[in-house]
A and B are shown apart, each in its own frame.
Chain A
Amino acid sequence: MARVVIFGATSAIAQAVARIWASRGCAMVLAGRDGNRLEAIGRDLRARGAERVTTHVLDALDTPRHEEFVDRAFEYLELPDIVLIAHGTLPDHARARRDPQAVADALAVNGASACALAAAFAARLEPPRHGTVAVISSVAGDRGRASNYVYGAAKGTVDRFLEGLSASLRDTGVRIVNVKPGFVDTPMTAGFSKNALFATPEGIAPAIVDAIERGARVAYVPWFWGPIMAVLRAVPRFVFERLPI
């Protein structure tokens, strides 16, 4: 059975994906900021059939301790098959526009830390020429929107980073997967009014698992965001800036 590492395991999307892997009897390392919540999720995954689960408390911004986490994951699983990096916070955009620290923090959490973790695992998976590193990015990374460009910029950073990382790992057997969800009904979006474009974590989890197992370079979930974003990426700037999005 697959050996899986999940960073940001308390996120709603990560939990839904982890349940699918648990039901298949995977061994898992779960990491996140809150030990009690990780433990609650770990127990759930064990009861749902995970072969074994361990938890590791780590703040994404604590870069000096990333390596220790990678060591721990390799120690527990020997050689992970899948690394899923799923943490993120949605910044208060209105506040971020006025507060430089909020901009820096949002970019650090959603952008830099995800890149750093992906790099750390990719480096360790390269010598054995094995494994997949997947990151939950976002459709928000595809264009800079007036209403959400701080978060979008962080996710755009992840997109470019994974693009290059993937290229650098060509022919190594290590695969890089960029998962780009659209709107998902999670605590991150609790303040939004929900429309037909909103998906649930449980709804998109099978597609995420599938994309990771196929080794899809970029996967929009649900799939319809692929064509929507293709159109939005093609819209010229002078039009895009006038769109009410």
Chain B
Amino acid sequence: MSAPVRESWGRYPRAAHLGVLAPRFVDEVVIPPRGAHGSLPYGRGRSYGDCCLNDGGTLIDLARLDRLIEFDAVRGVVRCEAGVTFRALLEVIVPRGWFVPVTPGTRELTVGGAIANDVHGKNHHREGTFGRHVVELELLRSDRGRVVCGPQREPELFAATVGGIGLTGVILSAVIRLRKIASPMIAVEEQPIAGFDEFLERSADADRRFEHTVAWIDLLAPASAIGRGVLIAGEHAGAAVPQRPPPRGSLAVPVDAPGWLISPATVRSFNALYRTLRGRKRTVAVRYEPFFYPLDAARGWNRLYGTRGFVQFQCVVANDTAMRTILTRLAASGLAASLGVLKRFGELRSPGILSFPRPGLTLAADLPFDGRPTLDLLAGLHAVVREHGGALYCAKDAAMTREDFRASYPRWRELARLKDPALSSSLWRRVGGDAPWHES
């Protein structure tokens, strides 16, 4: 057992783990007997807050469990170990005409993490969450050993595991249905949007016409222009579109940036530049990497926030006016809210007990962690979400309260019942089960 540092993507909060197990083969995966804080499966640490951390406990790092087991390039089905990253998967499947069915904004996450957080992407209005495309998965449980579950087989355990933030067992492998593509290229339509009302109108139109849609929002816009930004929509291109080779390499952020780098002034300048560059409607064909994963081009971009770390606020609310209130509060906060991403979730039902996506508007916003003012802003935003019956996303959260969690996930008791007794996490102890975590 070694004890190197494991962080979440936001690097806030920090956790000190007793130990990190790093099995290389399925037969090496063991769940240690339950200690004070139990164990938690860990992938690549791409979730933001503390759902992938287990302060005072053990992590079971599955990054080395990264083998494909079977790829059926005719039917478009892949079986792989839980630590396979989307990057590795795409490198194999894209040249043979397949794509992941649903992807978040990074390809560095693992398949196990995608299931445990039931991730969503720009095509939620068409395909729903990642969990909808999981045919079956194999779990290791401390009380039952290896268990296979899927939508038909042990459906209750499956529903608990999809979106179950790693608490129902260690996901060892999964079978995923892929999406057929004719090209690695994406036909993109970009258009500036002047404000929130225009977003509502244009995004509804884009959702009808495109498989992938998302809006980048200038979170520091003046009150008269709340919700201004750029609407980005795309379709997998046909075979006739000329193809370009994959991007070569990536730049790494080599050190922790100084705290002033991301401040309201710098974010404002960046937003102004971005809006200028994307100031006109245009259609282009780009490869899938810059379309889905623009931030992956800068490895370790989380270090731009410096050692203080950052938090991401992501909510979904069914009420559009509530979203306008949230955007207004963010802009008025005076904090350096950057990277606003706005999208309307579709109607497709999410398969997990703790799945986050549900009909309504979802906003993700990055905030440098500046202590009290950040927490106060979040508390205010969380109150708006709660008041409107919305939800906060566990994969991003570092600050919700027990009440926020229960309001977001009214079925949380079902998860508490199906949880593996030897697993726990920092997030779960913070917001989850009503019984305190006893020493065994």
Query: Which A residues have a C-beta under 8 Å from some C-beta of B?
Result: 10, 12, 23, 36-37, 40-41, 43-44, 47-49, 187, 190-192, 194
Q: Are the CB atoms of B24 and A47 closer together than 8 Å?
A: no
Q: Are the CB atoms of A40 and B4 closer together than 8 Å?
A: no
Q: Are the CB atoms of A40 and B22 closer together than 8 Å?
A: no
Q: Are the CB atoms of B22 and A44 closer together than 8 Å?
A: no
Q: How far is the CA of A171 from the CA of B4 in the complex (A)?
A: 49
- B1-30 CB contacts (< 8 Å) to partner A: 1-2, 4, 22, 24-27
Q: Are the CB atoms of B70 and A47 closer together than 8 Å?
A: yes
- B55-84 CB contacts (< 8 Å) to partner A: 64, 67-71, 78, 80
Instruction: List, sorted by A's number, 22 A–B pairs whose CB atoms are closer than 8 Å.
Output: A10-B25, A12-B64, A23-B91, A36-B25, A37-B25, A37-B27, A40-B25, A40-B67, A40-B69, A41-B67, A43-B68, A43-B70, A44-B69, A47-B70, A47-B71, A47-B78, A47-B92, A187-B22, A187-B24, A190-B1, A190-B22, A191-B2
Q: How far is the CA of A216 from the CA of B25 in the complex (A)?
A: 32
**A49: chain B residues within 8 A (beta carbon):** 92
Q: How far is the CA of A194 from the CA of B92 in the complex (A)?
A: 31
**A47: chain B residues within 8 A (beta carbon):** 68-71, 78, 80, 92
Name the residue in A23, A36, A43, A44 with the highest tally of chain B Cβ atoms < 10 Å from its Cβ: A44
**A187: chain B residues within 8 A (beta carbon):** 22, 24
Name the residue in A36, A40, A191, A192 with the highest tally of chain B Cβ atoms < 10 Å from its Cβ: A40
**Quick one: closest A residue to B4, CB to CB?**
A194
On chain B, the number of residues with a Cβ less than 8 Å from chain A's Cβ atoms is 18
Q: How far is the CA of A50 from the CA of B71 in the complex (A)?
A: 12
Q: Are the CB atoms of B24 and A43 closer together than 8 Å?
A: no
Given contacts A43-B67, A187-B24, A190-B2, 9 further A-B contacts (CB under 8 A): A37-B25, A40-B25, A41-B67, A47-B68, A47-B70, A47-B80, A48-B92, A190-B22, A192-B2
Q: Are the CB atoms of B67 and A44 closer together than 8 Å?
A: yes
What's the nearest-Cβ distance from chain B to residue A202, in Å? 10
What's the nearest-Cβ distance from chain A to residue B30, in Å? 15
Q: Are the CB atoms of B2 and A40 closer together than 8 Å?
A: no
**A44: chain B residues within 8 A (beta carbon):** 67-69
Taking a contact as CB atoms closer than 8 A, the residue among B1, B26, B91 that contacts A40 in the complex is B26
Q: How far is the CA of A94 from the CA of B68 in the complex (A)?
A: 38
Taking a contact as CB atoms closer than 8 A, the residue among B2, B64, B69 that contacts A43 in the complex is B69
**A37: chain B residues within 8 A (beta carbon):** 25, 27
Q: Are the CB atoms of B68 and A48 closer together than 8 Å?
A: yes
What's the nearest-Cβ distance from chain B to residue A184, in Å? 13
**Quick one: closest A residue to B3, CB to CB?**
A193
What's the nearest-Cβ distance from chain B to residue A32, in Å? 11
Q: How far is the CA of A191 from the CA of B91 in the complex (A)?
A: 32
What's the nearest-Cβ distance from chain A to residue B247, in Å? 17
**B25: chain A residues within 8 A (beta carbon):** 10, 36-37, 40
**B80: chain A residues within 8 A (beta carbon):** 47
Name the residue in B24, B70, B80 with the highest tally of chain A Cβ atoms < 10 Å from its Cβ: B24
**B4: chain A residues within 8 A (beta carbon):** 194
Q: How far is the CA of A47 from the CA of B68 in the complex (A)?
A: 6
Q: How far is the CA of A48 from the CA of B91 in the complex (A)?
A: 9
**Quick one: closest A residue to B89, CB to CB?**
A47
Q: How far is the CA of A41 from the CA of B81 in the complex (A)?
A: 11
Closest 9 CB pairs of A and B: A47-B68, A44-B67, A47-B71, A44-B68, A37-B25, A190-B2, A43-B69, A48-B92, A40-B67
**Quick one: closest A residue to B1, CB to CB?**
A190
**Quick one: closest A residue to B78, CB to CB?**
A47
**A36: chain B residues within 8 A (beta carbon):** 25, 27
Q: How far is the CA of A192 from the CA of B27 in the complex (A)?
A: 23
**A23: chain B residues within 8 A (beta carbon):** 91
**B78: chain A residues within 8 A (beta carbon):** 47
**Quick one: closest A residue to B71, CB to CB?**
A47
**A10: chain B residues within 8 A (beta carbon):** 25
Q: How far is the CA of A40 from the CA of B91 in the complex (A)?
A: 19
**Quick one: closest A residue to B73, CB to CB?**
A47
Q: How far is the CA of A187 from the CA of B78 in the complex (A)?
A: 27
**B67: chain A residues within 8 A (beta carbon):** 40-41, 43-44
What's the nearest-Cβ distance from chain B to residue A141, in Å? 25
**Quick one: closest B residue to A192, CB to CB?**
B2
What's the nearest-Cβ distance from chain A to residue B246, in Å? 13
- B123-152 CB contacts (< 8 Å) to partner A: none
What's the nearest-Cβ distance from chain A to residue B271, in Å? 36
**A43: chain B residues within 8 A (beta carbon):** 67-70
Q: Decide: A12 near B27, CB < 8 A? Known: A49-B92, A194-B4.
A: no
